[in-house]
Structures are given as structure tokens and as C-alpha cells.
Copies of this chain bind each other. A is one copy, B any other.
Amino acid sequence: MSPEPAAGRRGRVVIVGGGFGGLAAAHELRGADVDVTLVDRMNHHLFQPLLYQVASGGISEGDCASSIRAQLRRQSNATVVMAEVTDIDVEARRVTLDRGEQLDYDSLIVACGAESSYFGHDEWQETSCDLKSLADAVELRNRIFGAFEEAERTDDPDARREWLTFAVVGGGPTGVEVAGALALLARHSMKRHFRHIDPYAIRVILLDAGDRVLPAFSEKLSTKAARGLAAVGVDVREGSKVTSIDEDGVTIEGAGGEERIAAKTVIWAAGVKAAGLTEALARATGASTDRGGRIEVQPDLTVPGHPEISAIGDMANLAGSDGRPLPGLATVAIQQARHVARAIRQGHPGASTPFRYFDKGALAVVGRGRAVCEIRGLELWGPPAFLTYLGVHLYYLGGVPGRRMRVLNAWATTGLGSRANRVIQRELPHRHPSAGAATGV
């Protein structure tokens, strides 16, 4: 039953997605007797765990992304195509690209990741910022530094307060990290920059619908994280369910009833769902999906009924040893990629042995020089956790000379030393004078 490549023809592996999973799969196939084609809509691999640093002006765009071609340049069996996969013909074993080109495969690894989910309120996307792509991070940076400029410019105290209020929705690692970075940026590294803004008037509010931030960590670490955020000035509001977002703020429902928070900048870090192609793949294979749109894969990561198709990373739902779905972490995607790729190396069309996740733990940075960290039952917090966080991220970052030093510098100085990246790449919108400087809107 194994569709071995015909004699004289090398196996063809198509990988969809150049994120942590896709790139690790390609690397693992280095030197294997297959032709690898990696397809991604963008030309770069994104180091997503650092996107929040781009948004807060700590590091530059280039320090958070690297050319996929550069990463695979010495791998002679790999070809990179910058394109979008629009269709998968599972019978013909062929993917179609956005300009109609077709790629035949013997093995298909789908690793197209996740995108933001607004829980049925797609209109919230229009006024809030999320943090999934490099363009998102640059846009958020423009909006954060633009908000400071607006606050400096207006004479109206109400308008100034709204510009200086930042609401972060979602208490997972991204929400926690972006809230902490924003609070530090506002209070510590913008000193003396403005003449009319008091750094201590800047409010960063972290809204989470659950009863604690970082729910994937232990209760103890959640408490540590909440305290760490409070220490740098973040207003942490657990049990706050967002019921509406518009351009002037966010409405929440909490223990004390409905509340309106006037904030010109709302950052969405609350939910993800499997990205675009996942649905097409589920339809084509009849695979079932979970609430987040992720494909429920076999224990060996293949799609049911299709041993030649594997789905890995954020778009796949596979239970871990505790029976809960594995988390959307880079380490999960990388381990899954290697598992699948090794089997392909050995001549299988996809993996055939069950995947076991080796839990390397989870980390999140909280404010300045502090983090929480859970490694195989060991819990760390404060500076020791931060050092662990640094080590792990710098290890995985790699790739570009000097980058580790720049990123380390950004953390060490909380952006103090890297004013280079606080550039707003556009003008402030011109407002009609009759609307008046007084309203500032």
C-alpha cells in the first residue's frame, strides 16, 4: 500500500508553510533521496515569539524574520516557491497554486499555522490590531507610537486619556508579553521624549475572560505573572469578557456588570484558529476539525485515510499524554515536523509510528527581567526564569550574525538602547480643522 516512488524517480515532498514546522521538516529532509518543495505566501520565516518586540520598538523587522531561501540555500534537494496554495487534489496527489501552477507530490506536509480568531465578531478585526504577521507588528508599532504623538498633540484631556489607554485582550503568552513590553516602554524608555505626556498617565489594561492569566501554566505561576505585570504598571483584569470593540474602545462584562473602557488602541491576542488551507484540506479528505478549525489527525500525524498527508503544528489537533490537545508552541511543531520527515526519509509516505511530544516546557516573559517558566514539573519565576527564557530563545533564534546580540540588547535595556526602531512609517491622519484640535479625533 505504500506508494513508493517508481524506480528511477525520486520521491516528491511538498511542504505547505515556512513556519517552525515547515522549515524544520525541510531541514530534516536535507540529503534525503527526495525532492522537497516548500511553498509559502511570504518570503520569510517569522520568529513569532519575538513579534511583540517589533511592535514595541525593541527590535527591527529584520531581527524577527529571515529569508526562507537563505535558510535553505545549501540544501540542494529543496526548492522554495513564494505562492499561496489554493487547492489540494488528494486523489491526484497534487496541489494548485494561486496562479494555476500545479505541484505533484508523493508526500504532503501541511504546516500552515494559525491566524487570529475573533469568535464570530470579525468586525472587531477592523479596529483592533493583532500580532500574527510582520505586517501586523509594524502596523501595531505605527499605532502605538502614533498614539503617543496624538496624545502629545491634543489639548483635550479626555482625548489624551483615550490615546494613552492601551487595552490588550487575551491573557495568554502573547497578551502578557505585549502588555508588559508596552508598560515598560511607556514608563521607562520614553522619558523626556514628550513635553505634555506624563509617562505615568499611560494605562495598559490586560483583559482576560478566564480567572487567571497564562492558564496553560500552574496557578502559582499565573499568580506570579499577574504580580509581575502589576509591578510594571499593567492593570490586569481577569474575568473580563469582551462584548464589543470599536475605534474608541472596548466594552467588557465582568463581575461588576458591563463596563466601557475608552481606549484608542485595542490589541487582540485572545484567540486563534487554523489558517486558511486547513478547511480545504478537511473538506477534501473528510477529516473532522475541532472548534478552532484544527484537523484531528491520527496518532502518527497523518490525516485519516491519507497516510501520504501529514498535518502538523498549530493546524493539527492531537492529544498529548494528558489527553488534552497539544499546545500551539514552536517546539510542538518542530518535533512533529521531524517525526514526519524522518519517516519520509526512511521511505514511508508519511509518519507511521505514533508521535510522542517531549515536553520541553513553556515560557513567557513578564515585564522587566522577569519571566515564568515550567520545565518538566520544575517551576521557575523571576530572574532565573528570565535567564532560562533568554537562553532558550537565543538558542532557537540563530541564523543571522549579530542578531542574537541585538535581541539580547533589546531585552537588557527594555528598548532603552534601541530607539532606532521607533519609527512611524507614515504620517498621522489629517483631521478636519473644524473637528478641532480640542477633540483630537
Contact = CB atoms under 8 A, between A and B. Distances in A.
Nearest to A195: B79
A83 interface: yes
Interface in A381-412: 399-403, 405-406, 409
Contacts of A61: 60-61, 421, 423, 425
A41 interface: yes
Contacts of A149: 43, 82
A437 B60 contact: no
A406 B405 CA distance: 11
B98 A437 contact: no
A84 interface: yes
B62 A100 contact: no
Contacts of A323: none
Nearest to A69: B193
Given A430-B84, A430-B99, A134 B423 contact: yes
Interface residues of A, number: 64
B69 A194 contact: yes
Contact of A67 (B60, B70, B81, B419): B419
Given A81-B153, A402-B409, A433-B100, A44 B192 contact: no
Contacts of A427: 41-42, 82, 84
A29 interface: no
Contacts of A138: 425
Nearest to A37: B195
13 contacts: A42-B427, A43-B145, A61-B423, A65-B420, A67-B193, A81-B152, A82-B427, A83-B428, A84-B430, A98-B430, A399-B420, A402-B405, A403-B420
